[in-house]
Structure 1
Amino acid sequence: MLIPNSPINSGFILIVDDNPTNLSVLAQILNQADLSIRIATDGESALELLAEDHELPALIILDVQMPGIDGFETCYRLKSNPITYDIPVIFMTAASDVTSKVKGLSLGAVDYITKPFESEEVLARVRIHLQIQQLTKKQQQWNQELEQKLAEHINVLQKTQVQLVQQEKFAAMGQLIAGVAHEINNPITCIVNNIPPAYEYVKNLIAVIQLYQQYYSQPVPEIQTALEELDIEFASDDLFKLLNSMKLSSERIQDISVSLRNFYRSDISTKIAVNLHECLDSTLLILRHRLKALGDRPAIEVLKEYGELPKIYCYPGLLNQVFMNLIANAIDAVEEVQHPQIRIFTQVIGSQVLITIADNGVGMTEEMTHKLFQPLFTTKPFGKGTGLGLSIARQIIDEKHHGQLKVSSEYGKGSEFIIFLPLS
């Protein structure tokens, strides 16, 4: 509880008046109440004092009638300056000068002191406004602390929401991909395993046909007609080409199946040693269909500049998710580029591994890069992005792997995402 007559330690009080008698009386009243004061004899010197002094007064007592700029103009300038705007101003006016009182209050003054001075009235008005000033500062401080705590809680809540979305999305996707990969694996394994013996059977059958042609060069007319219609030599050559093509295609499907299983390794709850280049290659294999030419857009060129990297202990499924997000974003960024290009660079730097994924797309403004990793912020058109991908990616790199994920971009000159991962 505030006690009206208790001493107040609120800095000094600035008295501005050109009348020596008024200055003397006010100084005596305030000094007797243990209040520190400073004096200015006109508005200009008061403003100069405030501009030169690093310490601002807790309160200003300002006379209305002064030579040069009067009290009203001085108050107006004080309230126009953001540095002195909050300093409470008390005007000194004649007891019957109602017009001056109203004008002073409209300019931002908090109160007025009537002339001739009554010491108890002066002290009461000064003390109450010093107390109000103290309470205002405390309230501002409490508000700032409250805003900071609220921002911290919101940040924690957003991170928690992003983690929950990430876990649910990744688990669901992992189960789906694992199921599809499992269903593909059995029939494709059967095809891959059966192609070599089928190749041998065809080879042997063609060899037998060639023996017949060698020793029975004049077959019966019916067989001769069938051989001519079949064009046995062309069919023999083309059949081997078809088998080779089937072999390559089935092996590619098998590679994709393995890549999908490796990509979504959601069952791994501890870090394991992983070849990062294999992770990047698996991601590129899965996104291969998006790298091909599409309509007027040419095929996207991928430049792989891999350095010598040791295996790194990490969560491979989560790290693959980061690579997928960054490369998919790079593909989106170069959709309108005449010669689209994505560059992936890896290198060991000291005790860290550097991975950069750069594109020659449209780039981003500085304002966009500052917001890029915030949850729900997206640069993509409505309906094409959730705004969670990069936020989740940063959490995976920073919190799960104790690394760093940064972005460097300039509008019109492309973007580069930079990942640092610790070796140990």
Structure 2
Amino acid sequence: MHQPKALQRIVDVYFSHSARTVSVRAGTQVLKQDGFNDKLYWVKRGELSGSLQNETSGLTAKVFRVEQGMFFGVHSYFAQTLVASTTVIAEKDSEIAWIDLNTQAVEPEIYGSLVEQFMPVMVHELAQRQMLTGLEAIEKEQALQKLYAAEQMTTLGQLAAGIAHELNNAVGVLSSKTEGVQNSICRFLEENKPEVSPFLDLGICDGQSATSAEVRKRAKILQEMYRLDRDQARQLARAVPKGDVPDLWLTNLDEALQYWDIGRDLHDMRLAGKHAASIVRSVKQLGGSDQARQPDVDVNDTIHKSLALLQSNLRRVNVVLRPAVLPTINASVTELVQVWVNIIKNACDAMEYTDNPHIEIITRCSKNRLLITISNNGPVIEEVTRRKIFQPNFTTKKGGLSFGLGLGLSIVQRIVQSYGGTIALKSDPEKTKFRIKLPIV
């Protein structure tokens, strides 16, 4: 250990005598609180700690630690109280040297009295103790912050469990009633208007798979090809996103689109019910997940499902999906849908006042990992917000119908990490991007 020149002389002159050097094993008590002490000790190697006991309560706390190159017994030696203020015990096998009150000053005519010579020791010791005290204070503050966060999460979990229980009942009713309405409509049409049942069934089974950009592009083609008005062309592009339009559609287009639209709405309602139930479970179980995972899940398909759920949010947003051919993974569809919905919904909220809002979703496969990036051209997220954005109680939505509990991205991070994946956020004035990496298992 590097020592200041004056301090190094003190060590060389006063603490290098073998007769005043001793080895102590870990656990050895060197000084006892309120016990006799007439020595100043220097730690040649090892580590010792000083503890203070409160006479009233009997509680004991460690108040300092001394390591190689440090001193202890400073107060009782220089104040000449001859009473140790703390109990000092070797934490590791150590070697210590000492001087006592009988030790004579060496070269006093040059360096002054013993007290004058040892002034660097006192200053050095004070600085060392102050630094260690500061470090320990930081460690205690960090421990307190973790304790506060744990307590906050416990309270949040209890609150979330109560809310989730109530929501679960409502979601259950909506899901069962939606199923009942769907069955009733299907039976009625089969008995009274069987000719429109195929359109309803197509909407129920497939819903809308095309993105907003794809719909606009195909609608222009259909409008010219079949001489349709703008609204008819767009609705037909949603219902038949690819290939030729069967003649069955064109016979009575308005009626066909009307019943396909009903089927699509039922499809979305069922999907939203399942998604809501998934969110309720995740909120209720902030600390864990019991979502049923299954093999052969297509991540691109879960993104399409998310976009279908968010149609109302995406009406004014240009969405570009650039999917790669991905291997399937073992996953929960509802969990992945929840991840994409939360990120995309947050992007829509952030771009509320953005001209020409744009979301780009890219999926890739690289080195046994799936890479999913979701970026938007909304306002930059400042660094102070980026540092807190995954915290469970942090939200930027404060008022009106845009309030938030700060749970969305916390749950997203928990789900991604439960797969052994990572999520990162980058933001600059041009683009805000979430990057998710999922291992291929």
Q: TM-score range by the shorter chain?
A: 0.5 to 0.7
Indicate yes or no: 2:340 matched with 1:323: yes
Indicate yes or no: 2:412 matched with 1:401: no
Indicate yes or no: 2:298 matched with 1:275: yes
Tell me which of 271, 288, 309 is aligned to 1:259: 271
After the TM superposition, which of the residue ranges 156-165 and 338-347 deviates more from structure 2? 156-165
Displacement after TM superposition at 1:395 (Å) = 1.7
Query: 8 Å contact 1:195–1:247 — kept in the other structure?
Result: no
Match of 1:38 in 2: none
Tell me which of 132, 143, 147 is aligned to 2:126: 132
TM-score, normalised to structure 2's length?
Answer: 0.54
Query: 8 Å contact 1:10–1:130 — kept in the other structure?
Result: no
Displacement after TM superposition at 1:305 (Å) = 1.8
Superposition map of 1:22-61 within 5 A: 32-34=13-15
Query: 8 Å contact 2:6–2:120 — kept in the other structure?
Result: no
Query: 8 Å contact 2:291–2:335 — kept in the other structure?
Result: no
Query: 8 Å contact 1:163–1:392 — kept in the other structure?
Result: no
Superposition map of 1:86-105 within 5 A: none
Q: What CA distance in whole angstroms lies between the structure 2 residues aligned with 1:190 and 1:276?
A: 33
Match of 1:346 in 2: 363
Query: 8 Å contact 1:166–1:392 — kept in the other structure?
Result: no
Which runs of 5 or more structure 1 residues have no equivalent in the other structure? 1-8, 16-26, 36-114, 203-238, 293-298
Q: CA distance change for structure 1 residues 177 and 306 in 2, over 3 Å: closer, same or farther? A: farther
Match of 2:135 in 1: 141
Q: What CA distance in whole angstroms lies between the structure 2 residues aligned with 1:11 and 1:358?
A: 55
Q: What CA distance in whole angstroms lies between the structure 1 residues aligned with 2:11 and 2:374?
A: 69
Q: CA distance change for structure 1 residues 421 and 187 in 2, over 3 Å: closer, same or farther? A: same
Q: What CA distance in whole angstroms lies between the structure 1 residues aligned with 2:120 and 2:149?
A: 43
Which runs of 5 or more structure 2 residues have no equivalent in the other structure? 17-107, 197-250, 282-289
Displacement after TM superposition at 1:402 (Å) = 0.9
Q: What CA distance in whole angstroms lies between the structure 2 residues aligned with 1:404 and 1:166?
A: 25
Indicate yes or no: 2:313 matched with 1:290: yes
Tell me which of 320, 324, 342 is aligned to 1:307: 324
Q: CA distance change for structure 1 residues 249 and 241 in 2, over 3 Å: closer, same or farther? A: same
| Paired AA for residue 271 in structure 1 | R
Query: 8 Å contact 1:178–1:260 — kept in the other structure?
Result: no
Among all aligned residue pairs of Structure 1 and Structure 2, give the percentage whose two residues are the same amino acid. 23
Cα deviations by residue, 1:69-93 (Å, 9 ceiling, x for unpaired): xxxxxxxxxxxxxxxxxxxxxxxxx
Larger radius of gyration: 1
Displacement after TM superposition at 1:186 (Å) = 0.7
Match of 1:249 in 2: 261
Displacement after TM superposition at 1:325 (Å) = 0.9
Query: 8 Å contact 2:171–2:277 — kept in the other structure?
Result: no
Q: CA distance change for structure 1 residues 167 and 413 in 2, over 3 Å: closer, same or farther? A: farther
Displacement after TM superposition at 1:272 (Å) = 1.5
Q: CA distance change for structure 1 residues 358 and 175 in 2, over 3 Å: closer, same or farther? A: farther
Query: 8 Å contact 1:309–1:348 — kept in the other structure?
Result: yes
Query: 8 Å contact 1:330–1:361 — kept in the other structure?
Result: yes
Query: 8 Å contact 1:264–1:320 — kept in the other structure?
Result: no
| Paired AA for residue 259 in structure 1 | L
Q: CA distance change for structure 1 residues 140 and 191 in 2, over 3 Å: closer, same or farther? A: same
Q: CA distance change for structure 1 residues 278 and 157 in 2, over 3 Å: closer, same or farther? A: farther
Query: 8 Å contact 1:322–1:393 — kept in the other structure?
Result: yes
Indicate yes or no: 2:379 matched with 1:373: no
TM-score, normalised to structure 1's length?
Answer: 0.56
Q: CA distance change for structure 1 residues 352 and 30 in 2, over 3 Å: closer, same or farther? A: closer
| Paired AA for residue 188 in structure 1 | Q
Displacement after TM superposition at 1:201 (Å) = 8.7
Displacement after TM superposition at 1:386 (Å) = 2.9
Tell me which of 321, 332, 335 is aligned to 2:352: 335
Displacement after TM superposition at 1:146 (Å) = 2.5
Q: CA distance change for structure 1 residues 171 and 343 in 2, over 3 Å: closer, same or farther? A: farther
Displacement after TM superposition at 1:390 (Å) = 1.6
Q: What CA distance in whole angstroms lies between the structure 1 residues aligned with 2:113 and 2:369?
A: 73
Displacement after TM superposition at 1:169 (Å) = 5.9
Q: What CA distance in whole angstroms lies between the structure 1 residues aligned with 2:147 and 2:341?
A: 30
Cα deviations by residue, 1:288-316 (Å, 9 ceiling, x for unpaired): 11222xxxxxx212222222223321233
| Paired AA for residue 390 in structure 1 | L
